[in-house]
């Protein structure tokens, strides 16, 4: 199934958010099954970019969080809204481990997700942190 770039960003962010929630609750989960269930299609038929981004984000989660946390002023990553965490992890994973995309485009995509899903003004934190961390 062909998906728009915006839909792909939405889905990968949701999958990373769901994964972070399972991790936070100390529940084991199967990433392939999570992806397959959300997209309602066999894992083998899911867009490669979705699979690659989610898996690379989870494999490199600690490295990504450390890089982001270095640029948080008076905050710990764990205290940030989990949806904002997912957006930042997705952006960092996509930029560092998945695609050769211009940094400003990755940040712009993250800001658009933040504007769509988070409270007013939260996008400013994401923009500032990613601008320094990427």
Question: Hey, which CATH number is domain 5-133, 3.40.250.10, 1.10.1740.10, 1.10.940.10, 3.40.50.2000?
Answer: 1.10.940.10
Does the pLDDT at position 1 exceed 80? no
Q: Summarize pLDDT for 28-40 with one digit per residue, the tens.
A: 999 999 999 999 9
Altogether, the residues listed in the chain come to a count of 134
Q: Count Cα atoms within 13 angstroms, Cβ side, for 23.
A: 15
Segment 54-74, tens digit of pLDDT? 999 999 999 999 999 999 988
Q: How high is the pLDDT of residue 61?
A: 97
pLDDT category, 2, cuts 50, 70, 90?
A: low
| Averaged pLDDT score across all residues of the chain | 94
Question: Rounded to two decimals, what is the model's pTM?
Answer: 0.94
Q: What is the DSSP string of 68-89?
A: HHTT-SS--GGGS-HHHHHHHH
124: exposed, middle or buried (C-beta count within 10 Å: 0-12, 13-18, 19+)?
exposed
Query: Angle 62-67-69 (CA atoms, 0-180°, nearest 5)?
Result: 90
Instruction: Flag whether pLDDT at 121 surpasses 90.
Output: no
Asked if 35 and 54 touch (Cβ cutoff 8 Å), the reply is yes
129 pLDDT band, cuts 50/70/90, is very high
Q: What is the spatial distance between Cα 2 and Cα 103, in angstroms, rounded to a whole number?
A: 25
Distance CA(1)–CA(92), nearest Å, equals: 26
Q: What percent of the chain has pLDDT over 70?
A: 99
List the chain domain ranges: 5-133
């Amino acid at each position: 199934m062909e998906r728009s770039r915006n839909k792909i960003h939405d889905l990968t962010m949701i999958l990373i958010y769901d994964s972070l929630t399972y991790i936070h609750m100390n529940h084991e989960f199967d990433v392939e099954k999570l992806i397959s269930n959300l997209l309602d299609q066999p894992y083998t038929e899911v867009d490669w970019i979705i699979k690659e981004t989610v898996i690379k984000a989870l494999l490199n989660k600690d490295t990504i969080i450390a890089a982001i946390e270095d640029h948080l002023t008076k905050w710990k990553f764990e205290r940030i809204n989990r949806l904002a965490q997912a957006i930042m992890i997705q952006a960092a994973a996509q930029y560092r481990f998945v695609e050769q995309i211009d940094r400003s485009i990755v940040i712009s995509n993250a800001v658009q997700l933040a504007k769509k899903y988070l409270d007013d003004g939260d996008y400013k934190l994401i923009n500032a942190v990613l601008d320094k961390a990427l």
